[in-house]
Chains A and B, each alone.
Chain A
């Protein structure tokens, strides 16, 4: 085994980022083995049987039937120790953030996270809030890599055939120290961002809570809903059910009109499906402009009130 891809269970099916990670692993080249853990491991493995992989290892054990960091890190560690893959690959998900560093520390293997592309041993990741990119490399025999959402396209998985085989692990119950409860969702609010046609989205560039009505007024003349970036929600200026991004809603409106949003990846994953992106930002190098169709370089606080007035006259 050259490369081990650690798969993730997304409510009984293979996580989208795991599929993308398989593409990344195939592009790295070599013998790729995938690992599925937990009570759905066989279902997940069965989704991989038509991919060009060496095989899929499945591990089910009552201590890891559902995700927990103690159990998962132990299993991944055991599989790495037994097979010595040179590269361990995974999607950069919340679950990866939660347990993969444990594997890294336990085995002293560096973990280069959140990679967007690579070439010849050098891995590109975003740094400094996505304003710059960096190439990172490692000097060890083994490395752990996680790929950012959309670093690869799942349609590019090389097809083939492989088989699944179960791996029996001996886990001592003392390994799992945490008690994990079932996941739950909170009150979704009365706004349906995901089916909104037009969104006016507010970022920290709105500067203060007193300026929030400005965005609602613009939204009103446009017939749009209002959404927001995380810091605006964290500050309590706008309700949390209006948050767009990896920890909020995934939106795909006809127009996403962003006001003072920098364009961090955790925000962008939630809105890059918009048909058109119109962004106002005072910083001409703001990352949001890289994905915008229209980049208005200017001050939100000056432009928005005048724009609202102008639209009222239309």
Chain B
């Protein structure tokens, strides 16, 4: 079983997000980056599948500038076997079709049985890469997976539907499946894993995507609100007494 896990490096949830000079993205030099949280679940699922089968290979594939090697190493430290870094500028990494074409070129050569990815990235939130790649590879696809069961030459996926509904879908391999958060408990790398990761191979591929971007992000800005909000920014005791007053006289909870 050969499994690719597509991992993206994104700004952490507590990171500062200052706009860049062109106001078309954030100033990356002051951002703290992490592994995209749903991708972390996808990686864990891949490692669990491999461990259950007691055979196979888990390969981390990540696209972006050199900084993304950090998340590849993190994946290797958790137990993935090797990494592939597709070098690409941050602008391209915002156009889903271009991203998917570039991944597909690399993945095709490797003949993976399974491609796992997070369902959506915390940065651009396009939520389509895994499915685009599935189509381009001619593989079957499923999204919002919250449980997987590998059974011979097919995989059963429990899909999350809206408002607390679920559905099982059975797909033949090869398949590209995007993973919803919460389906497992991602491990932390062990010290041994971190040491071992240093010896594992990361293959660098420079993607030569000459084609034009089909979709671009042109501007980013801070959302404006129209709602009247009372802002309470005070020391704890003052804030507490104001909240008590609101609960009592305005919302009338008692």
Contacts and interface: CB of A to CB of B under 8 A. Distances in A.
Contacts of A70: 140
Interface stretch (B68-76, B84-92, B193-201, B236-244): B236-244
B32 to A, nearest CB: 13
A122 interface: yes
Contacts of A93: 162
A134 B251 contact: no
A236 B222 contact: no
B248 interface: yes
Interface residues of A, number: 91
B140 A129 contact: no
A64 to B, nearest CB: 15
B228 to A, nearest CB: 8
A68 B169 CA distance: 9
B170 interface: yes
B181 A231 contact: yes
B233 A298 contact: yes
- Choose among B125, B242, B248 the residue with the greatest number of A CB atoms under 10 Å from its CB: B125
A233 B182 contact: yes
B49 interface: no
Interface stretch (A23-31, A32-40, A156-164, A179-187): A179-187
A233 B128 CA distance: 24
- Choose among A112, A143, A289, A298 the residue with the greatest number of B CB atoms under 10 Å from its CB: A298
Contact of B217 (A127, A278, A290): A127
Given A98-B143, A132-B17, A311-B247, A290 B233 contact: no
A255 interface: yes
A170 B7 CA distance: 38
Interface string B210-254: 001111111111110101111111101101111110111011011
Contacts of B229: 289-290, 292-295
Contacts of B128: 97, 100-101, 104, 111, 113
A284 interface: yes
Interface residues of B, number: 83
Interface of A is mostly: mixed
A183 B144 CA distance: 14
Contacts of B22: none
A218 B195 CA distance: 45
Given A177-B171, A276-B251, A303-B236, A105 B135 contact: yes
Contacts of A131: 17
A134 B223 contact: no
A184 B218 CA distance: 42
Interface string A13-28: 0000000000000000
Interface in B154-177: 159-172
B218 A139 contact: no
Nearest to B31: A128
B63 to A, nearest CB: 16
Contacts of A135: 217-220
Contact of A306 (B165, B185, B212, B237): B237
A278 B250 CA distance: 11
Interface string A268-311: 00000000101000001101011111111111001100110011
Interface of A: 68-70, 73, 93-94, 97-102, 104-106, 108-114, 122, 125-140, 143, 177-186, 188, 198, 204, 222-223, 230-231, 233-234, 236, 246-250, 254-255, 262, 276, 278, 284-285, 287, 289-299, 302-303, 306-307, 310-311, 314
Interface of B: 11, 13, 17, 19, 26, 95-97, 100, 119, 122-129, 131-136, 140-144, 159-172, 180-182, 185, 212-223, 225, 227-234, 236-237, 239-244, 246-248, 250-251, 253-254
5 contacts: A69-B131, A188-B164, A236-B185, A290-B227, A307-B243
Given A114-B127, A122-B218, A132-B222, 18 more contacts: A98-B159, A110-B215, A113-B125, A126-B125, A127-B124, A128-B123, A139-B213, A177-B171, A183-B161, A233-B182, A278-B243, A289-B229, A290-B229, A295-B232, A296-B232, A296-B233, A297-B232, A297-B233
